[in-house]
């Protein structure tokens, strides 16, 4: 008999670290989006899934079941061994808690391997994510990092996290740095995956006194921020980071490593080339082609990113801000930590 558990029951078991989720959907389905932390052990590969789906739609349900049985029979020993090798308690799921997860759970039970099944499958999980985000309220007080491109905001977030301060790294969750060059060396995540990872982080941070994140645009790569997070950004205490121009160029080169992605860098630049004064744009393009990445980064800051950022920053002119003027990123990190720690101490006394 198949033992179903609800999303709420799974959450309780997850809190205790007692359950491994197994996604039995095809590799492409898993790659597109899944429940974070799950392991992919597909019952059908992509071509098999397509074939069986076609039979289901164009021939009959029985024809699809018969073909599915043939496919599963050939791979059953390896399939069972793989799942059996996963330690601890296990639960399987497919798209909507249907045939694939039911078949898996039934076959495993015949081999005395007990697994649960997520009722409603990934679709039920997705509904929980959407519903939870729709009514979510971030309790921790927010510090929001602002600053021109290259001021090391991501590096500051990483350092804060290492020092035990609550951090929400939205660019890491989105798989994108938020600029026209933002996907270079990364893999942009779709909205479903972003929201799943975002909710995981929000739940992890819910009992923190403070959270630090960057003043991102509403859209980061393929992902769009929910309204409540945009409001939190606008309400949060702004910290403005200022670094010398040379340090900013150095940080950009360190983060993007354009020499490892010359073609991608050139392709990305050509998307904004028409927005830059023609002689400057031509020089940038030449530098990117010939490996003059430091000069290219300097020109992009001076003639594109700095004017663009200064224009968008005018909306915060009336808001009280804390300005961190540092010579190096290390100094900026120390200053930001001091600001957060002092606020934490003041909150404890008050």
The domains located in the chain, with CATH, are 3-132 (3.40.250.10), 137-349 (3.40.50)
Q: What is the pLDDT of residue 115?
A: 94
Q: What is the pLDDT of residue 316?
A: 59
How far apart are alpha carbons 54 and 7 in whole angstroms? 30
Q: What is the pLDDT of residue 128?
A: 97
The H-or-E segment that residue 131 falls in is helix 121-134
DSSP assignment of 185-201 equals: TS----HHHHHHHHHHH
Q: Of residues 43, 83, 91, 94, which has the active-site annotation?
A: 94
How far apart are alpha carbons 22 and 288 in whole angstroms? 45
The region, left, alpha or beta by phi > 0 then psi within -120 to 50, assigned to residue 323 is beta
Active-site annotation holds for 94 = yes
Distance of CA 187 to the CA centre of its chain: 9
Q: What is the pLDDT of residue 347?
A: 79
- ∠ CA 263-301-222 to the nearest 5 degrees? 55
The dihedrals phi and psi of 18, each to the nearest 5 degrees, come to -105, 5
What count of Cα atoms within 13 Å lies in the side-chain half-sphere of residue 341?
Answer: 9
DSSP assignment of 9-76 equals: HHHHHHHTT-EEEEE-S-HHHHHH---TT-EE--SS-HHHHHHHHHHHHHT-HHHHHHHHHHHHHHHH
DSSP letter for 217, please: -
Give pLDDT tens digits along the chain (350 positions): 678 999 999 998 888 877 999 999 999 999 999 999 999 999 999 999 999 989 989 999 899 889 988 998 888 999 999 999 999 999 999 999 888 999 899 989 988 999 999 999 999 999 999 999 999 999 999 999 999 999 999 999 999 999 999 999 999 999 999 999 999 999 999 999 999 999 999 999 999 999 999 999 999 999 999 999 999 999 999 999 999 999 999 999 999 999 999 999 999 999 999 999 999 999 999 999 999 999 999 999 999 999 988 766 666 566 678 999 999 999 999 999 999 999 988 877 76
Q: What is the pLDDT of residue 313?
A: 61
The region, left, alpha or beta by phi > 0 then psi within -120 to 50, assigned to residue 36 is beta
Place of tokens 């789906």: 53
Which tokens is 68 given?
Answer: 């599915």
Q: What is the pLDDT of residue 321?
A: 84
DSSP letter for 167, please: E
- ∠ CA 8-9-11 to the nearest 5 degrees? 65
């Amino acid at each position: 008999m198949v033992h179903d558990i609800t999303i709420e029951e799974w959450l309780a078991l997850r809190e205790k670290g007692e359950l491994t989720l197994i996604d039995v959907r095809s590799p492409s389905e898993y790659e597109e989006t899944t429940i974070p932390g799950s392991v992919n052990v597909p019952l059908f590969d992509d071509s098999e899934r397509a074939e069986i789906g076609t039979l289901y739609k164009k021939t009959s349900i029985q024809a699809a079941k018969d073909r599915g049985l043939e496919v599963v029979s050939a791979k059953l020993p390896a399939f069972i061994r793989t799942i059996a090798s996963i330690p601890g308690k296990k639960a399987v799921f497919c798209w909507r808690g249907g045939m694939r997860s039911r078949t898996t759970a039934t076959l495993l039970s015949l081999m005395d391997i007990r697994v649960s099944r997520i009722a409603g499958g990934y679709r039920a999980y997705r509904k929980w994510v959407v519903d939870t985000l729709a009514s979510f309220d971030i309790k921790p007080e927010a510090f929001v990092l602002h600053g021109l491109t290259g001021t090391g905001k991501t590096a500051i977030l990483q350092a804060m996290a290492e020092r035990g301060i609550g951090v929400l790294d939205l660019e890491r969750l989105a798989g994108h740095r938020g600029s026209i060059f933002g996907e270079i060396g990364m893999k942009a995540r779709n909205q479903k995956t972003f929201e799943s990872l975002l909710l995981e982080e929000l739940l992890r941070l819910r009992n923190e006194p403070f959270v630090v994140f960057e003043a991102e645009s509403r859209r980061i790569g393929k992902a769009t921020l929910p309204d409540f997070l945009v409001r939190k950004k606008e309400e949060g205490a702004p910290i403005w980071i200022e670094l010398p121009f040379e340090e900013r160029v150095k940080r950009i080169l360190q983060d993007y490593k354009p020499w490892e992605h010359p073609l991608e860098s050139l392709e990305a630049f050509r998307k904004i080339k028409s927005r830059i004064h023609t002689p400057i744009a031509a020089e940038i393009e030449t530098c990117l082609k010939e490996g003059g990445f430091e000069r290219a980064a300097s020109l992009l800051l001076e003639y594109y990113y700095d004017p663009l950022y200064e224009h968008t920053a005018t909306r915060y002119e009336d808001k009280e801000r804390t300005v961190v003027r540092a010579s190096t990123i290390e100094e900026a990190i120390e200053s930001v930590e001091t600001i957060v720690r002092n606020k934490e101490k003041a909150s404890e006394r008050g």
